Structure 1
Amino acid sequence: MLGRLTTGTAALALLATSALASGAAVAAPAAAAAGPKAGEACTSADLGKRHPFIKSVKVEPTVTHFKGYFVTAGSTGSQSVKLSTQTQVTVEVGTSTTVTTGFAFQVLVKAETAVNRTVKKTTATTSAEEQTITWNFTQPGYYGLYQGTRKVTGEYGSLNCDRVQQSDGTFATKWVERPGGQYTTFSTIEEGAIRCEDQVPADTIMKKAQEILGCAGTAAAEPERKAPAPRAADKDQRTSVSGERGASAVPPGFTCLPGKYRIGTPDRKLYWVTFGAGDYFRLRPGPRLPEGGTWSVCEGPESNGRTEYALVNSYKGRCATMPDHGEAAEGAMFRMDSCRTADDYQRFYIYRDVPGSDLVGLQLKANGHMVGQERVVDDTAMRQYSEGKADGTGTYVLEKV
């Protein structure tokens, strides 16, 4: 018999197992697909919105801390044992390890539904420090003491509302599948002690601990301590060309559509306008707008199955840009900056309403965030939102002047 005296906040290791504890990837169940589905109808109010869905999920029992420990006949009873770090698991959605609210949070909510167990849905990582557990040993032997969790990984996609041509040649707005990425999270922390002679279910944390202990026919030995793998520093994706603007301020490889355009609210009362010495653009009353209220819409190459666009302000000769300090922040403001040869934070995808309508949704290529604003009111700045705006205020009119 093994008995645990204290364990802090960690949960006891469970002897039961589940099919969802398997390391094999499985398709997400229907219960995880709450919300719109690809091919379903949407409306023009959805053009500026974005929804996640789970494409696959994999659950892996993972030992985060471990110690091989001898207990002799004269040393049974309660003992405190320090466990060395084996591995770390970090919550990550796409390339971001910062999860608060918005699109990334919803990805993890749907992953939790898919595996039918509680997982971390905010910024979190398992401990890199030594952990001490106190265990009551009632029999002599060689034990593996462990802490661990179930690491949950998989692939997610996103849905955007867009114009789709139907089989009869007519057009409709429907939810279309767009690129997503990979996600990682983990469930509750468990701890326990295990011996080679103990019979435990496969695909459990206890079984993983037995493998580290050296069971399954190999000599038992204390594992080598593994330091947590260092995370590569986030690299700025921008590759701007110093001083390069060109006479037209248009990025190389982009061709501007004829004429100038205005971008504004669907009721055409407010438009994107820049004025004065600043480089931010805000909603201002129309329709008689200064040159700061008109834009060149410039087409570039295709990526992720869609044409990239740069939006160049006619007055400033600069591109709409998400600045360095705001690239990951929910609600960060756009500004204008020198148009660069390669900068995904200056590239947009445009989702359109049916022909005859000039309503659009605008998505930043770099992170998939949608353009919107806090309120539809004069002097409000344009911002990025990972899911868009639930009230439909991320839908704009893109009209030729």
Structure 2
Amino acid sequence: MAIVARGQADRGPPRDRCGDPDLDDARDCRRDRRAVVLPRGVARRRQAVDHRRRVAGRRGADAARRAGDGEPAQGAHPDGRAVRRRERHLLHRDGGQPGHAADHRDRRHPRRDPRRAGHGHPGPARALVGRCRHRGPRGASRMTADDLVWILPLIPAVAALAMLAARGRATLVWLDLLASLGVLTLALVIAGEVPSRPIAAGPLRADSLAIPFLLLIGFLAVATSIYSNGWVRHEVAHGGMKASSLRYYHALVQAFIATMLVTVLADNLGILWTAMEGTTITSAVLVGFHGDRRGLEAAWKYIIVTTIGISFGLFGTILIYAAAAHAHGAISDAMSWSEINTIASRLDPGIVRIGFIFVMVGYGTKAGLAPMHMWLPDAHSQAPTPVSALLSGAS
């Protein structure tokens, strides 16, 4: 069997010096266009020689290109090698640039270190110990114990908003119970963290003084939520409360719990006074929730007396703030309880005494201290039973 080798069939017809076809050389032209039949061994040796020449030519060209100074890389890799198969789709993936396809490819191997693997040289396989393959976005941080301080009053506040949109007594009871359990659980977690260090998040702060009150509010919230299930069923059955007003009742109870939590956690004089006023508003509405004459009378007495008292508390707060701003020099830090505690020895004793008297009278009225307790019997007798328990705990 013979192999057919091509001759000079791709050349044009022979021409003379003037460029015209040379008719005398037509026979030679026809002879050149004919295929030349070579033996098998000769054809194979000629193909091998041509292959070696092509390989040597490419190697020489690569060596000359690498030897040139200042010449840019010709391929996707800095050494000038062409892009490998399955690498072209990685050139611009994940923000990469041409020339870094090796890094993108190595990153796909789950047990290869991208910092040590080279293009074409994978190196020893090494497990990525203590390193996550897919990292989250930069700036993402996990929740800390300090975040629990502001999440604690946020739970009953969100539950109160959800209750306003809820329908059905069973749904309201479960929301009330879950929110109360969440408050108690976070209070226990914070109580476990505080002995090592106080927990602070902005204007809220939990220390050893606040822990007993947080636990008391949490236990009262769970107890009143459990008791409210049977009490609400009895009130609706005997006409003491309308079924359509249950969501407002549960929402006000959770709002009252949220304001009590902010009062205990407040590290700012202004936020403390605002939270105390919030407890007055929510509890006054709950005292007169039944809507009868005695309930409304008790609610108005409660509002008037406690509002007068809280006004005295506001004046005392202003005096303490003035003394702290004069001693500290920084107006923004003069409202913080923790900052006032650090400069207590430098405060003006006369202003502090007057401020303390006003604060004791104002907040004592809210707590039901004698002789400012005239609202207490009427409010506790006319308020719903779970609300009376919460008022006793808040006082």
Give me the TM-score of the superposition, normalised by structure 2. Answer: 0.22
Of Structure 1 and Structure 2, the greater strand share is in 1
Where relative contact order (Cα < 8 A, 6+ residues apart) is larger, the structure is 1
Of Structure 1 and Structure 2, the greater helix share is in 2
